[in-house]
Amino acid sequence: MNIVINKSSKERTRDQVVRQVRAAVASGELVGSDRLPSAADVAWEQGVAKAAIQIAYQDLMLMGILERYHGDGPLVCLGCEDECRDRYRAEIVARLCEVVAEAEAAGMTVDEILVEAQQS
């Protein structure tokens, strides 16, 4: 997996990493026992602080998505793919519902919302 950090984004580096890894597991791009690049490698390639990548990996470990063995880089946990996909999709749907409710409160119809989303 290639982790890409958008330095001009308002989203924190660690959150970008977490989002990208979660999306990769949810989509099947990453599966159990796949190895991610080391925090040092990502930091060097992307020109960001190693600590931010380490924190992101720790967050993913707390979520049960990654595991680390001493001396090895982080691995995707075996069997976590379905749960990760379900949780990630549920969070996306929740955010989507918030946006739709806000758009409807602003007078937009569902059809208008869909047209705008497709044109973006």
pLDDT tens string 57-97: 999 999 999 998 766 779 999 999 999 999 999 999 999 99
In a domain, 105, yes or no: yes
Task: Write the DSSP symbol of residue 6.
Answer: -
How many percent of the chain have pLDDT more than 90?
91
Q: What is the pTM of this model?
A: 0.83
In a domain, 3, yes or no: no
Q: According to the model, what pLDDT value does residue 92 have?
A: 93
Q: Can you give the CATH number for the domain in which 37 is found?
A: 1.10.10.10
Measured distance CA(57)–CA(63) in Å, rounded = 10
In a domain, 1, yes or no: no
Query: Residue 59, CB half-sphere, CA atoms under 13 Å: how many?
Result: 17
CA distances from 113 to 14, 75, 90, 91, 109 (A): 30, 39, 20, 19, 6
Q: According to the model, what pLDDT value does residue 71 have?
A: 66
Q: According to the model, what pLDDT value does residue 3 have?
A: 96
In a domain, 75, yes or no: yes
In a domain, 85, yes or no: yes
In a domain, 110, yes or no: yes
Q: What token pair was written down for 2? A: 């290639």
Instruction: List the one residue out of 75, 16, 54 whose CA is nearest residue 3.
Output: 16
Residue 74's domain spans which residues?
13-119
In a domain, 84, yes or no: yes
Helix axes 81-105, 13-27, angle to 10 degrees: 110
Is the distance from CB of 18 to CB of 36 less than 8 angstroms?
no
Mean pLDDT over residues 96-107, rounded? 94
Measured distance CA(63)–CA(80) in Å, rounded = 10
Angle at 7 between CA 91 and CA 118, to 5 degrees: 50
In a domain, 95, yes or no: yes
Q: How many domains does the chain have?
A: 1
Mean pLDDT over residues 98-114, rounded? 94
